[in-house]
Amino acid sequence: MTDYSALARQLAPAIAASASERDAERILPYDIFDSIRASGLGAARVPLALGGGDVSQTVVADIFITLGQADPNVAQGLFPHFMNIEQFRLMAPSAMQELYLGKIGEGKLSSGAVAERGAGFRGDIHTHVALEHGQKILRGSKFYSTGCLFADFIKVQAVDEDRRALYVVLPRDAEGLVLKDDWDGMGQRLTASGTTEFHDIVVSDEQVIPVHHWSGRRNYAGAAAQLIHCAIDVGIGRAVVEDAIDWAKNHTRPLRESGVSRASDDPYILYAIGEMSTRVRAAEVLVRHAAQDIERAARAQLEDVARGSSENSPETEQHLVQASISTAGAKIASTDAALFVSQRMYDVGGAATTQKRFNYDRHWRNARTHTTHDSVAYKYKAIGNFLLNDTPPPITFTY
């Protein structure tokens, strides 16, 4: 049985070794994803029968904390792959699960093209499948397509002619598919989160997965997605603390007024390191607690689906709500921790750590960019509304 947490730890040193250089020079990590592909790490959540490890959500958190610490760009680039697995497992017909999860079990990597820009609300989808002359034609574009440049196939969120939700699965070399490396965010520069265009792509029935029947039904996929985001932020925090400790031990000079001969004995530096470590560790504890709640919810809902149930059982619904609430708390803590420590590091290292050659600002840039995925304010609101009014969180991909 493969130990997927250990596998991530084995990959991490090589990923971390060149992370700063890749960020500074904007070198996309194609070679890293080739290593991930060859390692089999991508099959961690694939069912055993289809060649995977069917690991727990706690192991998923382990994997992404480890990768996030090594390089959060790589971790985020792999995020859509893991979410595709959850959505295939939960929402795809058995034949399509066997097809696409089977590919992943064999070592293929996937990614996703979901978010669009335009009028209306966040999450609105205009990419669509039209029926013309007996053929299904995919048209549209996505503004964010994280990881697609590294993938063997991609899952596209779209709607049909009646505005009903569906997924379309495309091979990387599909005719009419255009993937652009035009993401220019200040952080997470190497996630390949650029534009994707779909120019009259002809798709077969086996490439289209209707999911409109999941509209309004609470599911664990949103919490599982948030868990990975939280784990990446904890990983960023751990990397910052590691760099701060190294700098304090080996580079920081003491102030005369400190009364000590080593910076590592300065009470304010000790305070800063202790505070940084505690915040990250506290966030990690909440992330791991949320992972346990998501695991219970996922297993319960997958069992419901396996029995052919079109509705959640009361017990499953309870597990799902608790998973979302726990993950909302983890999101708050991991966001705060990553942002706090990536700024606090400069109080440990001083002006020298701002030099471009060290590239420590990448930690803050990555944390600030990655934590903008959804509003922490609404996480507080959801928790408060649940505790005071017994109101469950919204049924969206952010819970």
What stretch(es) of the chain map to CATH 2.40.110.10?
128-213
- List, run by run, the mean pLDDT of 10-residue segments along the chain (399 residues): 96 98 98 98 98 98 98 98 98 96 98 85 90 95 96 97 96 97 96 97 97 94 98 98 96 87 91 97 98 98 95 97 98 98 94 94 98 94 98 94
- Give me the pLDDT at residue 73, please: 98
CATH topology for the 128-213 domain: Butyryl-CoA Dehydrogenase, subunit A; domain 2 (2.40.110)
pLDDT of 119 reads 57
What pLDDT score does 253 carry? 86
Q: What's the CATH fold of domain 4-109? A: Butyryl-Coa Dehydrogenase, subunit A; domain 1 (1.10.540)
pLDDT score of 258: 87
Tell me which fold the domain 221-389 belongs to: Butyryl-CoA Dehydrogenase, subunit A; domain 3 (1.20.140)
Determine the Cα–Cα distance for residues 124 and 126; give it in Å rounded to an integer: 7
User: What integer pLDDT is reported at residue 156 of this predicted model?
Assistant: 97
Q: What is the pLDDT at residue 254?
A: 83
pLDDT at residue 164 in the model: 95
- Record the pTM: 0.97
Domain limits, CATH 1.20.140.10, in the chain: 221-389
